[in-house]
Chains A and B, each alone.
Chain A
């Protein structure tokens, strides 16, 4: 069965801390891995990773993929209260026939306290 596992499930830090969120996966015919940030409403897209070892960076957020060990990490440096959210990892893979779909992990709930 295709699965995406995120850890930790929840994390509480203080402003200014650095956090690392983990995502491991077991899927057939992997194509890409995506990170989303979900506050109270719609998940918003952060990164799409397709190649191992190439870091994607956006401000204080960065992410990298290891296709050999089947995992990805999302780093947030100098955290701010506005980073508080659920961070979702999703893997795009082949699903029955020729269609690709996204399988999501359960998410990591990050709380940044002032």
Chain B
């Protein structure tokens, strides 16, 4: 049973480009969470999605960031017009029952904006 799969592992973008981060949850998991981790900082919640629905996006910046979890395919975190401050590790996690069960994390995507 494969774990949470994230790709790419590393992504380099120039300022102003778009970044797309993908996350395939564990088999049987329908709840997906995105977290961002800056150096020396803990994981910061960004968004919680179920299939075709955004449940909680209280941690998402109001501009340039969006997320989706379509009926078919992986969840996508999209960052438009990236800036240097977007450089971070972005982790996806999934669970079977939302917050009623422990989250299982992917290996993360490390985004570097040059």
Query: Which residues of A pack against B, CB within 8 Å?
Result: 4, 31, 34, 36, 41-45, 48, 88, 90, 92, 95-96, 99-107
A100 to B104, CA, bound (A): 16
Q: List 5 A-B contacts (CB under 8 A).
A: A41-B107, A102-B45, A104-B35, A104-B43, A106-B40
A45 to B4, CA, bound (A): 13
* Cross-chain contact A42 with B48 (CB below 8 angstroms): no
* Cross-chain contact B58 with A95 (CB below 8 angstroms): yes
Decide if B41 is an interface residue (CB 8 Å cutoff).
Answer: yes
Q: Which residues of B contact A48 (CB under 8 A)?
A: 102
- Which positions 63-114 of chain B face chain A at CB distance < 8 Å? 91, 98-99, 102-108
Q: Which of the residues A41, A88, A101 comes within 8 Å of B45, measured between beta carbons?
A: A101
Nearest CB of chain B from residue A89's CB, rounded to whole Å: 9
A101 to B105, CA, bound (A): 15
Query: Residues of B within 8 Å of A, CB-based: how many?
Result: 25
Per-residue CB proximity of B34-66 to A under 8 Å, as 1/0? Answer: 010000111111001000000110110000000
* Cross-chain contact A42 with B107 (CB below 8 angstroms): yes
Q: Which residues of A contact B48 (CB under 8 A)?
A: 99, 101
Nearest CB of chain B from residue A47's CB, rounded to whole Å: 9
* Cross-chain contact A100 with B98 (CB below 8 angstroms): yes
A114 to B96, CA, bound (A): 39
Q: Which of the residues B42, B98, B106 comes within 8 Å of A104, measured between beta carbons?
A: B42
* Cross-chain contact B56 with A99 (CB below 8 angstroms): yes
Nearest CB of chain B from residue A21's CB, rounded to whole Å: 14
Q: Which residues of A contact B35 (CB under 8 A)?
A: 104
Nearest CB of chain B from residue A107's CB, rounded to whole Å: 6
Known: A34-B102, A95-B56, A99-B55. A107 touches B45 (CB 8 A): no
Q: Which residues of B contact A96 (CB under 8 A)?
A: 56, 58
The closest CB in chain B to the CB of A101 belongs to B45
Other A-B pairs beyond A99-B48, A106-B41, 9, CB < 8 Å: A42-B3, A42-B107, A92-B99, A95-B56, A96-B56, A96-B58, A99-B99, A100-B99, A104-B42
A36 to B48, CA, bound (A): 19
